[in-house]
Structure 1
Amino acid sequence: MKKVIILLSIITVFTACKNDAKKEIEKEVIAEDKVDIGEKTAKQNDGLTTLRGDYIYYADAAVLQTPTEVYGVVIDEKLHELEKQAKPLKVEATDMVKVTVRGEISPKPESEEGWPFRVTIKEIIKVEKLNPKENDVIKLGS
């Protein structure tokens, strides 16, 4: 009987630790997706969300990929400004860059194709080159 109780105790401890580790990882991923700049100002109450992720603009389509979600980006003046900042950091037109932006997230209209959510960029905070080790691209020769 003692062996059964000890065995059940050990199993309970291990399964409890596993769930805690998963929750910690989920919290880190969500924290990376939506970034808090650290300063509480009037900006924080303007309804905009700060997002950090990989950005690409190619052939009249723009995408922002965060660790937990993929957003279509509304093509407007701010997007073209972001593209001007990102262009020198790209080796090829299909390369992604890491960006931190603030914008409005909205669901896409049902009449349009694309990702379920889209972001309208209102402020560009940071644009940086993607780490070459993270840029897993398969290139096909012709």
Structure 2
Amino acid sequence: MKRLLFTTLVFIAFISCKNEAKSKQTEDTGTSKTEERTDKQNDGLTLLKGQFVLYDGAAVLQTHANIYGLFITDKLKELNQLAEKYKKEPTDMVQVEIRGKITNQKDEKILWENKVEVAEILSVNPIPKDENNVVKLGEQ
């Protein structure tokens, strides 16, 4: 009987120590995730890659999943100047990679549901010829 009681106590002590170690480990990993994040990941900006065009005062960014209206700011004007190098016509789109703040706030000029304020320009490239599916009407 004493052996059974002793074995039970050892078994209970072993199980409680094991659970305590697991809970400490999950607490440690929870704090390390926020410490491992970079400043760029904590600034509230989103990385967006897609096709950009600014035409007649309206700026649009088309990603693989969504279409965004872009707020006209100094950073957007800078992006357009970089994009002009790759355009043959004013309506041509350019491949861009930006970081910006996405919002759904109402705006009287931008009627797209999703809007972006450009905060950082990462890259500007021409669209590869095989992806340029523009249909042009009229005589050539």
In the alignment of these two chains, the number of paired residues is: 104
- Identity across the alignment (%): 45
Asked if 1:91 is matched to 2:88, the reply is yes
Max radius of gyration: which structure?
2
Separation in structure 2 between the aligned mates of residue 124 and residue 76 of structure 1, nearest angstrom: 13
Whichever residue aligns with residue 48 of structure 1, its letter is L
Q: If the length of structure 2 is used for normalisation, what is the TM-score?
A: 0.70
Give the CA RMSD over aligned residues.
1.7
Partner letter of residue 50 of structure 1? Answer: L
CA deviation vs aligned residue, 1:59-83 (integer Å, no higher than 9, x gap):
0000000000000000010000000
The Cα shift of 1:108 comes to 3.7
Give CA-to-partner distance per residue, 1:79-126, whole Å, 9 cap, x none: 000001000111111100000000000004065552101000000000
Q: Which residue of 1 aligns with 2:48?
A: 51
Alignment gaps of 5+ in structure 2 = 1-35
Tell me which residue corresponds to 1:138.
Answer: 135
- Ranges in structure 1 where 5+ consecutive residues have no aligned partner: 1-38
CA distance in 2, matches of 1:56, 1:94: 7
Would you identify which runs of 4 or more consecutive aligned residues in structure 1 move more than 4 Å?
A: 110-113
TM-score by length of 1: 0.69
Q: 1: CA distance between counterparts of 2:107 and 2:88?
A: 35
